[in-house]
Amino acid sequence: MSTDDLDRAWRSPANRPTPEASARECAAFVQRLQREHRSFRFWVIRAFSLLAVITVGLGAFVADGGAFDVSREWAVLLLLALPWVAAILFVRRQLRHRRAHSDYAQSVAHSVRALLDANRAAQLRARLLLGLFAFMVPVVAACVWQLQQVGKVRPHEAESLAIFMAVVVGLSALGVYWRSRRLLPEEKRLAELAAEFA
């Protein structure tokens, strides 16, 4: 039997799922994708809310005459700007994904391709977050040092703050890395599925 014969046998009606089975598979994939979208929305709303509270708080502090010297405390602004930039990049990528796969509920093939793209977007977010965490380490160190220099934290407080921030960044990076490792085998499975529908 030739490869063409095998391919014809593989694609024969006997090997294709019934319309009911396809509809069930499609519904399952659509539900999974909707869960992904809800999860992304939850985390982004949470991140933007937290960033907004911190930004407004800093703005109100400065507006009320609080001591803040940009030339000596610029690391605080950089530390605040980094997550804003990351969050905006994530939202832009998600909107692009939603536009590219607006028909994800149309068929199993469409939903699998949308899931594959969502998986790759999640991996990209993980890589960006890991890069952000790596970049934040020296920024946090500069921030703590500047706050100590302007007298806003004492030496023992600066040490505690540095340790706390290092633990937060380290644990966050480990969580993102663990999630990114779980996404790789899933991407392989989805790519194989998508190839079957190509």
The 10s digit of each residue's pLDDT in 71-89 is 899 999 999 999 999 999 9
Q: Is the distance from CB of 194 to CB of 113 less than 8 angstroms?
A: yes
Note the pTM of the prediction, 2 decimals. Answer: 0.76
Q: Is 104 helix (H, G, I), strand (E, B) or coil?
A: coil
Q: Is the distance from CB of 121 to CB of 94 less than 8 angstroms?
A: yes
Burial class of residue 125, CB neighbours in 10 A (0-12, 13-18, 19+): buried
Domain boundaries, the chain: 3-196
Residue 133: how many other CB atoms lie within 10 Å = 19
pLDDT, residue 17, reads: 58
Rg (CA), the chain: 24
Q: Is the distance from CB of 123 to CB of 90 less than 8 angstroms?
A: no
Look up residue 27 and give its two tokens: 């519904």
The 10s digit of each residue's pLDDT in 147-166 is 888 888 888 787 887 888 88
Q: Give dist(CA 156, CA 153) in Å, integer.
A: 8
- Identify the CA nearest to 197 among candidates 37, 17, 30: 17
